[in-house]
Amino acid sequence: MTNYSSAALALLLASLAGCAAPLHLPDGVYTGAQGAGTLTVSGDRVEVRIPVKDASTPYEYGTYGYNLSKDGSVLFYGSSNSSYYLMVVIDYQWRWTGTGFESTSRRDGAIATFTPAQ
Protein backbone atom coordinates (compact mmCIF):
# COMPACT_ATOMS: atom_id res chain seq x y z
CA MET A 1 0.00 0.00 0.00
CA THR A 2 1.39 3.40 -0.89
CA ASN A 3 1.72 6.23 1.60
CA TYR A 4 -1.14 8.03 -0.16
CA SER A 5 -3.42 4.98 0.16
CA SER A 6 -2.49 4.49 3.81
CA ALA A 7 -3.22 8.12 4.61
CA ALA A 8 -6.55 7.99 2.78
CA LEU A 9 -7.56 4.81 4.63
CA ALA A 10 -6.57 6.32 7.99
CA LEU A 11 -8.56 9.47 7.22
CA LEU A 12 -11.60 7.43 6.22
CA LEU A 13 -11.48 5.32 9.40
CA ALA A 14 -11.04 8.40 11.60
CA SER A 15 -14.02 10.14 10.02
CA LEU A 16 -16.21 7.04 10.39
CA ALA A 17 -15.30 6.75 14.07
CA GLY A 18 -16.65 10.28 14.64
CA CYS A 19 -20.01 9.40 13.06
CA ALA A 20 -21.51 7.56 16.00
CA ALA A 21 -25.21 6.80 15.75
CA PRO A 22 -27.49 9.11 17.77
CA LEU A 23 -28.72 7.82 21.10
CA HIS A 24 -32.36 6.69 21.23
CA LEU A 25 -34.92 6.33 23.99
CA PRO A 26 -36.69 2.98 24.37
CA ASP A 27 -40.22 2.94 22.94
CA GLY A 28 -42.95 2.84 25.56
CA VAL A 29 -45.31 4.79 27.77
CA TYR A 30 -43.91 6.48 30.87
CA THR A 31 -46.32 7.73 33.52
CA GLY A 32 -45.78 10.39 36.12
CA ALA A 33 -46.65 10.06 39.79
CA GLN A 34 -49.57 12.04 41.22
CA GLY A 35 -51.06 12.86 37.82
CA ALA A 36 -47.92 14.44 36.41
CA GLY A 37 -48.86 13.16 32.92
CA THR A 38 -47.42 10.72 30.41
CA LEU A 39 -44.60 10.56 27.89
CA THR A 40 -45.03 8.16 24.98
CA VAL A 41 -41.85 7.34 23.06
CA SER A 42 -42.26 6.03 19.53
CA GLY A 43 -39.13 5.92 17.42
CA ASP A 44 -37.60 9.37 17.15
CA ARG A 45 -40.68 11.17 18.55
CA VAL A 46 -42.14 11.67 22.04
CA GLU A 47 -45.74 12.59 22.79
CA VAL A 48 -45.76 14.78 25.90
CA ARG A 49 -49.00 14.97 27.92
CA ILE A 50 -48.53 17.07 31.01
CA PRO A 51 -51.58 18.70 32.59
CA VAL A 52 -51.58 22.48 32.18
CA LYS A 53 -52.05 24.25 35.51
CA ASP A 54 -53.16 27.55 34.02
CA ALA A 55 -54.74 28.77 30.80
CA SER A 56 -51.39 29.41 29.09
CA THR A 57 -52.27 27.11 26.19
CA PRO A 58 -55.49 25.52 24.89
CA TYR A 59 -53.64 22.30 23.99
CA GLU A 60 -53.34 19.18 26.14
CA TYR A 61 -50.33 17.53 24.47
CA GLY A 62 -47.77 17.72 21.68
CA THR A 63 -45.44 15.37 19.81
CA TYR A 64 -41.80 16.35 19.45
CA GLY A 65 -38.45 15.16 18.21
CA TYR A 66 -35.64 14.87 20.73
CA ASN A 67 -31.89 14.70 21.22
CA LEU A 68 -30.57 12.41 23.94
CA SER A 69 -27.09 13.27 25.24
CA LYS A 70 -24.60 10.83 26.77
CA ASP A 71 -25.10 12.53 30.15
CA GLY A 72 -28.83 11.69 30.03
CA SER A 73 -30.12 15.16 29.25
CA VAL A 74 -33.03 15.20 26.80
CA LEU A 75 -33.72 18.18 24.59
CA PHE A 76 -37.12 18.23 22.92
CA TYR A 77 -37.48 20.31 19.80
CA GLY A 78 -40.65 21.67 18.32
CA SER A 79 -42.23 24.59 16.54
CA SER A 80 -41.94 28.08 17.92
CA ASN A 81 -45.61 28.38 16.89
CA SER A 82 -46.67 25.70 19.37
CA SER A 83 -47.98 27.28 22.58
CA TYR A 84 -47.86 23.89 24.33
CA TYR A 85 -44.18 23.51 23.46
CA LEU A 86 -43.34 27.05 24.54
CA MET A 87 -45.47 27.18 27.70
CA VAL A 88 -45.19 23.62 28.95
CA VAL A 89 -42.48 21.42 27.42
CA ILE A 90 -39.53 23.82 27.59
CA ASP A 91 -40.62 24.96 31.03
CA TYR A 92 -38.81 21.83 32.28
CA GLN A 93 -35.31 20.44 32.13
CA TRP A 94 -35.58 16.81 31.00
CA ARG A 95 -33.32 13.91 31.92
CA TRP A 96 -33.29 10.23 30.98
CA THR A 97 -32.35 8.11 34.02
CA GLY A 98 -31.78 4.88 32.09
CA THR A 99 -35.21 3.53 33.03
CA GLY A 100 -37.44 6.62 32.92
CA PHE A 101 -37.57 10.40 32.80
CA GLU A 102 -37.10 13.16 35.34
CA SER A 103 -38.38 16.66 34.74
CA THR A 104 -37.24 19.64 36.76
CA SER A 105 -39.41 22.75 36.70
CA ARG A 106 -37.50 25.84 35.66
CA ARG A 107 -39.93 27.91 37.77
CA ASP A 108 -39.76 26.27 41.18
CA GLY A 109 -37.28 23.38 40.90
CA ALA A 110 -39.95 20.72 41.54
CA ILE A 111 -38.95 17.31 40.19
CA ALA A 112 -41.38 14.83 38.64
CA THR A 113 -40.48 11.27 37.66
CA PHE A 114 -41.95 9.27 34.80
CA THR A 115 -41.59 5.48 35.00
CA PRO A 116 -42.59 2.73 32.55
CA ALA A 117 -46.32 2.05 32.57
CA GLN A 118 -47.31 -1.41 33.74
Closest of 41, 40, 39, 35 to residue 53, by C-alpha: 35
pLDDT tens per residue across span 49-107: 998 877 778 888 999 999 999 999 999 999 989 999 998 999 999 999 999 999 999 99
Q: How many CB atoms lie within 10 A of CB 46?
A: 21
Domains (range + CATH), the chain = 22-116 (2.40.128)
pLDDT tens per residue across span 96-114: 999 999 999 999 999 999 9
pTM greater than 0.85: no
Give the C-alpha separation, 10 to 16, whole Å: 10
Q: How many CB atoms lie within 10 A of CB 31?
A: 18
